[in-house]
Amino acid sequence: MIIFKVVRLMDEVESIFTKHFANNDRKRAMKFLRPKQNKDSHMVTFLVGLSTGCFVSLFCVYAILAHLCSIFSRNNESAYMQNVYPVFSVFALLSLHVFMYGCNLYVWKRTRINYNFIFEFSPKTSLKHIDSFLICTTLMTTVVGAMVVHLLLRAAGFSPSQIDALPGVLLLIFMALLFCPLDIFYRPTRYCFIRVIRNIICSPFYKVLLVDFFMADQLTSQIPLLRHLQTTSCYLSSKVFTHRPETCHSGRLYMEITYCISFLPYIWRVMQCARRWYDDHDVNHLANMGKYVSAIAAVGARVTYSRESNHLWFAMVLITSVVATCYQLYWDFIKDWGLLNPKSRNPWLRDDLVLKRKSIYYISIVLNIVLRVTWVEAIMPFKVGPVESRLLEFLLAALEVIRRGHWNFYRLENEHLNNVGHYRAVKTVPLPFRETDSDY
């Protein structure tokens, strides 16, 4: 009896939908109500595993070759770390950021956070977590493969001036692929990324969307990557035009460019906050702008202290960094994450939580504090060699990328809960089946 009632109700629904939503075209209505399900392909998962295996194998080969070629010896370390290391660091930090974004996508999906709506992405073309992992592993496999080829050519007796151009060629290939107009290698995602970067650079002239300032926040965590890009571009251009690559690592012009690169992401965020205040007339945007102004002061003091290590600049670094860190932690916990509410029914968290285990939030608070104070390394009197100094610099940059990926989840969780609370979780009520091409 129950089965007959269900069948009768299904027939009534089909009849009503056909009449009111498909102009009595039953065939068209059935495309919506009974669509053919696409079979999920496991090819991407297979390629992720294959790329991961290749990356691990090639990295082991690279480590062995680097040891045999004495690439980090006193005679070779200066040229290698100045000319080759920056390019590979760019790809490594970029891959780590893409990996963290893939982790975010996976957790957002598992916790039913509507990130496509929040970012205003099309569900049909938006990047999935497995695609993000594929990009990450493929990129790192290519980069480590280039590092192995570089060492093999070096061991074969090729001139360093010739083979040191290999990382630059790899960078140019990557840039060409990013702007490639062909519908390959996730073109909608690539063009969306380019469009968002354009909006960030031209912040005062565009209405600032969430995806714009979200991406700009990612750039504030990738200042080492931008510095390496600047060094690499300078090195390649100087090799071609001026034949004086040593000017890329010292001199007044180098310091001025370093300041500019270090300030740019924060300046973009300041402009975005100013534009949002102009559009919304909300003083919170001005308060947020003050956070980035304090960060500019702290970064400027640290860059200057790295060149002029005296007591005055030590005090300046300490004062500006402590103020900026306290400002940032307050904004992280109170504004961006919505936590530390003393009146919440969840002690010092918020009333609504996506994750079931409250302990994860407390651990995240502590972890964010620890990763926010990694700048202390800049004022500690560590005595290490050039190679160790570069590796320590890379480690700290990687920790900042991890912190940003960690911050991303809670930032979007808070945004999602605010949208739900104001009935903005979805633009339209979704039907329980995939969309098909239609005029509706």
240-295 pLDDT, tens per residue?
Answer: 655 565 666 666 777 788 889 999 999 999 999 999 999 999 999 999 999 999 99
Rounded Cα distance, 223 and 227, in Å? 6
In order of 97, 330, 344, 364, the CA distances from 347 in angstroms are: 32, 17, 6, 15
| CB-based contact 248:258 (threshold 8 Å) | no
| CB-based contact 276:282 (threshold 8 Å) | yes
Residue whose pair of structure tokens reads 């571009």 in the numeric block: 233
259-272 pLDDT, tens per residue?
Answer: 899 999 999 999 99
- The C-alpha torsion from 397 through 403 and 407 to 409, rounded to 10°, is 110
Dihedral sign from CA coordinates of 264, 265, 268, 273: negative
Q: State residue 150's pLDDT score.
A: 86
Q: State residue 429's pLDDT score.
A: 43
Asked whether the predicted pLDDT for residue 63 surpasses 60, the reply is yes
Outline where 202-310 has alpha helix (H).
210-220, 223-237, 252-280, 283-307
Rounded Cα distance, 93 and 72, in Å? 21
> Which of 34-38, 406-410, 432-436 bottoms out in mean pLDDT, i.e. has the lowest?
432-436
Residues above pLDDT 70, as percent of the chain? 86
92-128 pLDDT, tens per residue?
Answer: 999 999 999 999 999 999 998 989 889 989 888 889 9
Q: State residue 365's pLDDT score.
A: 96
| Confidence bin at 368 (pLDDT 50/70/90) | very high
| CB-based contact 410:337 (threshold 8 Å) | yes
What's the mean pLDDT when you consider all of the chain?
Answer: 85
Q: State residue 332's pLDDT score.
A: 95
Helix 223-237 to helix 85-110 angle (10° resolution) is 150
Highest mean pLDDT among 22-36, 148-162, 272-286, 370-384: 272-286
Secondary-structure breakdown of the chain: helix, strand, coil percentages, each rounded to the nearest 5: 75, 0, 25
Q: State residue 436's pLDDT score.
A: 44
Higher pLDDT, 236 or 272: 272
Which candidate, 104, 162, 166, 157, places its Cα nearest to that of 133?
A: 104
Which candidate, 310, 317, 332, 330, places its Cα nearest to that of 377?
A: 317
Residue whose pair of structure tokens reads 């040891």 in the numeric block: 67
Taking residues 55-84, report their average pLDDT: 78
Q: State residue 428's pLDDT score.
A: 44
Dihedral sign from CA coordinates of 224, 227, 231, 233: positive
297-320 pLDDT, tens per residue?
Answer: 999 999 888 888 788 888 999 999
> Which of 147-151, 364-368, 417-421 bottoms out in mean pLDDT, i.e. has the lowest?
417-421
Asked whether the predicted pLDDT for residue 435 surpasses 50, the reply is no
